[in-house]
Structure 1
Amino acid sequence: MLEEIAIENLGVIRGARVPLSEGLTVITGETGAGKTMVLTGLNLLMGGKADPHSVRPGADRAAVEGRIRVSGHPTAAARVDEAGGEIEDDGTVVVLRTIADGRSRAHLGGRAVPQGVLAQIADDLVTVHGQAEQLRLRTSAKQRDALDDFAGPVHQGVLAGYRTAWSERTGLLAEIADSEARAAERAREVELLRIGLEEIERVDPQPGEDTELAALIERLANAEGLRVAAGEAHQAMAGEDETGAQPNAIALVETARRALEGGAHSDPALGELATRFAEVGYLINDLATDVAAYLDDLQADPGGLEAAHARMADLNGLTRSYGETIDDVLRWASDAGLRLLDLDDGGDRLESMKQRVGELDDELDRLAGALTEARTTAASELAGAVTTELHGLAMGGAHLEVTVAPADALGPYGADQVTMLLVPHPGAPPRPLGKGASGGELSRVMLALEVALATSPHKQDGSGATDPEGADVAALRRTFVFDEVDAGVGGRAAVEVGRRLAQLGRTTQVVVVTHLAQVAAFGDTHLVVTKSAGDTPDGNPDGDTPAGDDAHDADGMITVTGVREVTDENRVVELARMLSGQEDSTTARQHAMELLESSVVGR
Structure 2
Amino acid sequence: MLNTLTIWNFALLEQVQIDFDKGLNILTGETGAGKSILIDALGAMLGNRLSTDFIRTGADWLRVEAIFSLDNQPRVIDYLNENAIDTTEGELIITRQITSNGRGTILVNGCHTTVAVLKKLGTLLVDIHGQNENLALLNASNQYKLVDGSDDRINVALRAYQQAFKSFKDKEHQLAEKEKSSADNEQKLEMLKWQVQEIEAAQLQENEDEELEREIKKLSNAEKISNYIGEACRNLYGGSNGIGVVSALEEVVENLRDLSRFDDSLDNATDTIKEACIQIKEAAYEVRDYGDELEFNPQLLDKLQSRMDIIDKLRKKYGATIEDIMAFKEKAQQQLNDIENYDDDIAALKQEIEKAREEATACADRLTELRKQAGDRLSMAIEEHLHELGMPDARLEIAINEAEDLGSLGADELEILFSANPGQDMRPIQKVASGGELSRIALSIKAVTAFRDDSPASMIFDEIDTGIGGRTAQMVAERIAMVAADKQVLCITHLPQIACMADVHLYINKQVVNGMTSTSVRALTEGERVNEIARMASGVDVSAASLDNAREMLANAGVKKQQYSRKLG
TM-score range, shorter chain: 0.7 to 0.9
CA deviations over 1:266-305 (Å, ceiling 9, x no partner): x999xx9xx9xx9999999999999998887677755444
How far residue 428 of structure 1 moved from its aligned partner, in angstroms, is 6.6
Q: State which of 407, 412, 419 in structure 2 corresponds to 1:416.
A: 412
Say whether 1:559 aligns with 2:517: yes
**Structure with the higher helix share, 1 or 2:** 2
TM, length-normalised to structure 2: 0.78
1:553-583 deviation line (CA, Å, top 9, x unaligned) = xxxx332211111131100111111112226
Q: Rate the CA distance shift 1:482–1:234 in 2: closer, same or farther, 3 A.
A: closer
CA contact (8 A) 1:95 1:106 kept: yes
**Which runs of 4 or more aligned residues in structure 1 lie more than 4 Å from their structure 2 counterparts after TM superposition?**
167-193, 202-205, 225-239, 278-302, 334-360, 424-441
Structure with max Cα Rg: 1
**Structure 1 segment 279-358 matched on structure 2, within 5 A:** 301-322=297-318, 328-330=321-323, 332-333=325-326, 337=330, 358=354
Structure 1 segments unaligned to the other structure (5+ residues)? 240-246, 455-463, 469-475, 537-556
Question: Which amino acid counterpart does residue 212 of structure 2 have in structure 1?
Answer: D
Residue 90 of structure 2 is aligned to residue 94 of structure 1? no
Amino acid at match of 2:110: G
CA distance in 1, matches of 2:292, 2:152: 97
Provide, for residues 93-120 of structure 1, a one-character-per-residue CA deviation record: whole Å limited to 9, x for no partner.
Answer: 1122222232443222221111222222
Greater shift in the superposed pair: 403-412 or 496-505: 403-412
Residue 507 (structure 1) aligns with: 486
Output aligned runs, 1:31-180, within 5 Å.
Answer: 31-89=31-89, 91-100=90-99, 101-131=101-131, 133=133, 135-150=135-150, 152-170=151-169
Map of 1:553 onto structure 2: none
Q: 2-side partners of 1:561 and 1:213: how far apart?
A: 98
Distance 2:280 2:24 in 1: 113
Within 2, Cα distance between the matches of 1:576 and 1:594? 11
Following superposition, the deviation at residue 144 of structure 1 comes to 1.5
Which amino acid in structure 2 is aligned with residue 93 of structure 1?
Answer: L
Aligned twin of 2:545: 587
2:217, 2:496 → 1: CA distance? 108
**Corresponding position of 1:550:** none
| 1:237/1:248 contact within 8 Å kept | no
Structure 1 residues 268 and 36: alpha-carbon distance in aligned structure 2, compared to 1, 3 A threshold: same
| Equivalent residue, structure 2, for 1:531 | 510
Aligned residue for 2:439?
A: 443
Which of 525, 529, 532 is residue 574 of structure 1 equivalent to? 532
TM-aligned CA distance change 1:508 to 1:431, over 3 Å: farther
Which residue of structure 1 lines up, in the alignment, with residue 564 of structure 2?
none
Amino acid of the structure 2 residue aligned with 1:479: S
Give the corresponding residue for 1:18. Answer: 18
| Cα shift at 1:31 | 0.9
Deviation at 1:357, TM superposition (A): 5.4
Distance 1:352 1:74 in 2: 46
SS at match of 2:214: helix
CA contact (8 A) 1:130 1:439 kept: no
Kindly indicate whether the alpha-carbon contact (under 8 Å) linking 2:192 and 2:333 is maintained by their aligned counterparts in 1: yes
Contact 1:405 1:416 in 2 (8 A): yes
- Asked if structure 2 preserves the Cα contact closer than 8 Å seen for 1:399 and 1:424, the reply is yes
Contact 2:202 2:310 in 1 (8 A): no
| Alpha-carbon distance between aligned partners in 1 of 2:45 and 2:330, rounded to the nearest angstrom | 61
Among 469, 483, 486, the alignment partner of 1:490 is 469
Q: Deviations over 1:174-203 (max 9, x none)?
A: 566667767879979965873464144257
- Aligned-partner residue type, residue 394 of structure 1: G
**Mean Cα deviation higher: 62-71 or 308-317:** 308-317
TM-score by length of 1: 0.74
- Distance (Å, rounded) in 2 between the aligned partners of 1:165 and 1:338: 31
Q: AA paired with 1:329?
A: I
What is the rounded CA distance, in whole Å, between the counterparts of 1:352 and 1:73 in structure 2?
Answer: 49
CA distance in 2, matches of 1:292, 1:497: 113
Q: Is the 8 A contact 2:478 2:560 kept in 1?
A: yes
Identical columns (%): 28
SS at match of 2:31: coil
Do the aligned partners of 2:315 and 2:325 also contact (CA within 8 Å) in 1? Answer: no
Contact persistence 1:525–1:565 (CA under 8 A) = yes
Distance 1:188 1:107 in 2: 65
Unaligned runs of 5+ in 2: 562-569
- Is the CA contact (8 Å cut-off) linking 1:25 and 1:524 kept in structure 2? yes
Q: The residue matched to 1:135 in structure 2 has which SS?
A: helix
Aligned partners of 1:570 and 1:289: how far apart in 2? 119
8 Å Cα contact 2:165-2:360 kept in structure 1: yes
Distance 1:288 1:465 in 2: 93
Deviation, 1:43, is: 1.3
Letter in 2 for 1:501: I
Instruction: Tell whether 2:367 aligns with 1:371.
Output: yes
Distance 1:192 1:114, change over 3 A: farther
8 Å contact kept, 1:573–1:589: yes
Amino acid at match of 1:166: F
Helix, strand or coil: the match of 1:582? coil
User: CA distance change for structure 1 residues 428 and 126 in 2, over 3 Å: closer, same or farther?
Assistant: farther
Q: Which residue of 2 aligns with 1:596?
A: 554
